């Protein structure tokens, strides 16, 4: 018998797939081609991070886009394993206090997949996530909070909730939240989903004003 938490996580994965299908955009359609037809479960212990203090703010802000998914995530978030790719050797404590992600489907999440990794990123208000890159192709969909995003050395662009943001394999990219915390859905696809993101030298100078 599946536990209530297991059922809730599978419901979130189903809601993510439905949301991606609703976007009717070429980029999500590519990722959906690799979406698993069924899931095998793994036991994952819960782990918290300081960034979860923003969950109450994210849950109160309920515009139409993705409202049911956000509410479901906020309910199950305390039972998820929240992670950080970086340590104090890489980035300052202020960033680490306002950064975290949790995988739902993929190489380390509770629902195993070899081709797709999917989860949620939280950034606190006015937090700059510097340029980084990874082997996996990536799709972001902001769910709460308007943030600025930069790909390579292109101009920064504000991207509101519901906007698909596609990063190619090894493409440097960065983001920064503005006056509100950012909650974003991410999806990776590729052959090595366990490979972590690496900080990049591109764009490490003072960030440009958001366009």
CATH code of the domain covering residue 118: 2.60.120.10
The answer to whether residue 202 is domain-embedded is no
Calculate ∠ Cα 49-54-56, nearest 5°. 120
DSSP 97-113: TTEEEEEEEESSSSEE-
The answer to whether residue 207 is domain-embedded is no
The answer to whether residue 199 is domain-embedded is no
Express the helix, strand and coil content of the chain in percent, nearest 5 each.
25, 30, 45
Provide the number of structural domains found in the chain. Answer: 1
pLDDT of the chain, 211 residues: tens digit per residue: 456 577 899 999 999 999 999 998 899 999 999 999 999 999 999 999 999 999 999 988 666 789 999 999 999 999 999 999 999 999 999 999 999 999 999 999 999 999 999 999 999 999 999 999 999 999 999 999 989 999 999 999 999 999 999 999 999 999 999 889 999 999 999 978 888 999 987 544 433 333 2
Residue 85: domain span: 4-190
The answer to whether residue 25 is domain-embedded is yes
CB under 8 Å to 62, separation ≥6 — which residues?
Answer: 70, 71
83 phi/psi in degrees, rounded to 5: -130, 165
Q: What is the reported pTM?
A: 0.92
């Amino acid at each position: 018998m599946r536990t209530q938490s297991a059922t809730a996580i599978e419901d979130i994965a189903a809601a993510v797939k439905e949301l991606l299908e609703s976007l009717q955009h070429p980029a999500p359609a590519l990722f959906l081609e690799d979406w698993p037809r069924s899931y095998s479960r793994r036991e994952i212990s819960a782990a918290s991070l300081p960034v979860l203090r923003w969950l109450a703010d994210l849950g109160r802000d309920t515009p139409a886009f993705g409202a049911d998914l956000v509410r479901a995530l906020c309910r199950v978030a305390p039972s998820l394993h929240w992670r950080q790719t970086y340590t104090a050797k890489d980035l300052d404590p202020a960033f680490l206090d306002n950064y975290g992600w949790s995988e739902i489907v993929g190489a380390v999440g509770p629902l195993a997949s070899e081709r797709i990794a999917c989860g949620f990123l939280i950034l606190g208000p006015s937090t700059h996530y510097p340029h980084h890159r990874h082997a996996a192709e990536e799709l972001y969909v902001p769910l709460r909070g308007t943030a600025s995003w930069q790909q390579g050395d292109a101009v920064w662009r504000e991207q509101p909730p519901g906007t698909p943001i596609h990063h190619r394999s090894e493409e440097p990219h960065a983001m920064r939240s503005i006056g509100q915390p950012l909650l974003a859905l991410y999806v990776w696809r590729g052959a090595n989903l366990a490979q972590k993101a690496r900080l990049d030298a591109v764009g490490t100078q003072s960030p440009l004003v958001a366009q």
